[in-house]
Structure formats: C-alpha cells, structure tokens
Amino acid sequence: MKVQDARYVMSNSDYQKCPSPDLPEYAFIGRSNVGKSSLINMLVEKKSLAKTSQQPGKTQLINHFLINNSWYLVDLPGYGYAKVSKVEREKWEKMIGDYLHNRENLICTFVLIDIRHSALAADLDFMANLGEAGIPFHIIFTKADKLKSGQVASNVEAYRQKLEEIWEEVPPMFISSAEKNEGRDPILETIETYNQSFQNTK
C-alpha cells in the first residue's frame, strides 16, 4: 500500500462523536512511551502527524486520521504508567473501553509492545480483555533497532511461548522500528487486505 494522503480529522473523548463509521478503522494502542506516535508517523511517512513526546501520557483523546480517503487510523491513549491522577486514568480507561467495545467499523486493534521487555502484566491483561470481548487484535513489537537481531528473535519467541500458555491461537505479530523504517510494509499490507474484505462485505 502506498500512503498518498494522511490527515488529521478530529479528536474525541466519546466514541459516539467519532466520524461516521462508514470506512474501515484500525486502532493503535500500547503502554505509555511504547513508541506509538513514532510508529504511526513512520507508517504514513509524515514526521509529525501524530505528536511524539518524551513525556508518557501525551495522547489523551481518541484521535482519528484519514488515510488515502479510504480508511481511518486511530491513535488511542496509552495504558499503564502515566503521570496522571487515578480519576483521570479511570476516565481514560472508560473512554478506551467504550470505543473498543462499541465502534462498529473497528476492524483490528494493533497492540504495541516494547521488544526490549519480557511479557508484562499490563499488556497481557489488556490483550486478555480484548480476547474475552472478541475484539480482533495483532501485536506490533516496537523499537527493534534497540537490540541486536538475535536478541529480537529470542525476545519474540519468548513472548510467543508466554502467549501460548494463555491462548489457543497466538495473534499475528509484527516487528517494527520507526528509526529504521522496519515493519511498515507488512503492517500496511495487512491493513490493505482487511480493507478489501471490508469493501467486499458492503
């Protein structure tokens, strides 16, 4: 897929105020500081479409971007660590949960995992909740450039084994590096395949 046009559409705290659900939609989410904004900017080949920050918790709303006038990329707030109050964090969790469970044109959620870390409870719990709700998701390992290739392969395999203890079928996985433009084509090809299926069902 060639990304020819990528533009910001709107931000909301209520899924019911999001754009009309007539195009396929893909959500990107992960723990705070996982490299989500950098990955999104790498996918669409724009340096500042999604706002990057060294400060965890920068994304605080449901952010919609229209890609090629044919599908939505959605940047969701991170979960886990962020320097916000418990009340604010609970408000984010409800906003995210309402969106994920009720957005009818959400085709797939991409859960971002920092490749440098072993399986963390926050990530495993979040994915378990998606599975229990029947919400399709894929895993994108980020920051692959921070490790040697052998360590990347080892960490991914360890993560796969951990998931196999929990899941009958492990979700699809991608390895990415925003720094080295790695993983872009496989992720976009997957989205393009889903887009074609979406059009065929209309």
CA distance 96 to 25: 15
Residue 192 pLDDT more than 60? yes
CA distance 100 to 187: 20
Q: Look at residue 59 in the predicted model and tell me its pLDDT.
A: 63
Q: Look at residue 50 in the predicted model and tell me its pLDDT.
A: 78
Per-residue pLDDT tens for 129-155? Answer: 999 999 999 999 999 999 998 999 999
- The sheet with strand 137-142 has its strands ordered as 6-12, 62-67, 71-75, 25-30, 106-114, 137-142, 173-175
**What's the pTM value of the predicted model, to 2 decimals?**
0.93
CA distance 116 to 169: 23
What architecture is domain 6-201?
3-Layer(aba) Sandwich (3.40)
Mean pLDDT of the chain: 91
* Two tokens, residue 121: 């409870």
CA distance 166 to 192: 29
Residue 51 pLDDT more than 80? no
Residue 127 pLDDT more than 90? yes
Please give the backbone phi and psi of residue 59, each rounded to the nearest 5 degrees, phi first. Answer: -75, 125
